[in-house]
Amino acid sequence: MGTFELLLTAVALSMDAMAVSVSSGISAHKTRVRDALVMALFFGIFQSVMPLLGYYIVPLLSRVFGNGVEIFVTRFDHWIAFVLLAFIGEKMVVEAIKNESDDEHSNPFAFGTLIIMAIATSIDALATGIVFRGLDLTNGGFIFAISAIGVITFLLSFAGVLLGKKVGKSVGAKFERWTVFAGGIVLIGIGLKTLLEHLLG
């Protein structure tokens, strides 16, 4: 796998993180540059760590517990992503329908929410790490791959939050309830897309 293919892989893996970032920027009551940096860091770090786990840890676990570990990861990673994203998205949709006050709205930049979304958007990178083991990657090539994945995810996620913030401002406070609703639908949609891509091959 050459440099160009690795960069394309990095961009492809970062797309869900960017979409979630845009959704978060739109639906958040207040979005600061610091929020965008923190979310981008979470997403970038998780996208880099997951391939490492897939490359080193999953095969190690397979030696101990059998090949069922790799099979479980490749067969159920998309289900995990779907459940996590659908959980957060459904919560946002319900809040919007109930028209809860700003103080009661979910904060996409809260630590717990960031962890859940970072896992959900990077779980496919875990399976990618397993795939990398079967490719002709030198040690330097693998380091470049995970670095590119992390950096590109960070940059696109940061830009995504700021873009979402701009869109949210253009919509205006009058429609803030519906931006939360739309953000929840987007998260559910990303989860469904991830699920269907795996189920339909």
CA angle 35, 157, 108 (to 5 degrees): 45
- Kindly report, residue by residue over 50-106, the tens digit of the pLDDT: 998 888 887 777 777 776 677 777 777 788 888 999 998 888 888 888 765 555 567
- Kindly report, residue by residue over 33-49, the tens digit of the pLDDT: 999 999 999 999 999 99
Give the type of residue at 126: L
Within the chain, residue ranges assigned H as helices are 3-27, 33-52, 58-65, 68-98, 111-133, 139-171, 176-199
- How many other CB atoms are there within 10 angstroms of residue 134's CB atom? 7
Query: Whole-model pTM above 0.85?
Result: no
CA 167 to the chain's CA centroid: 20
Give the type of residue at 134: G
- Cβ–Cβ under 8 Å, residues 159 and 24: no
pLDDT, mean of residues 101-123: 83
Which letter, b or e, does each residue of 45-64 get, where b requires 16 or more Cβ atoms within 10 Å of its Cβ?
A: ebbbbbbbbbbeebeebbee
Give dist(CA 198, CA 157) in Å, integer.
23
Q: Where are the domains of the chain?
A: 3-199
| Helices 176-199 and 111-133: angle between axes, nearest 10 degrees | 20
pLDDT for 111 beyond 90? yes
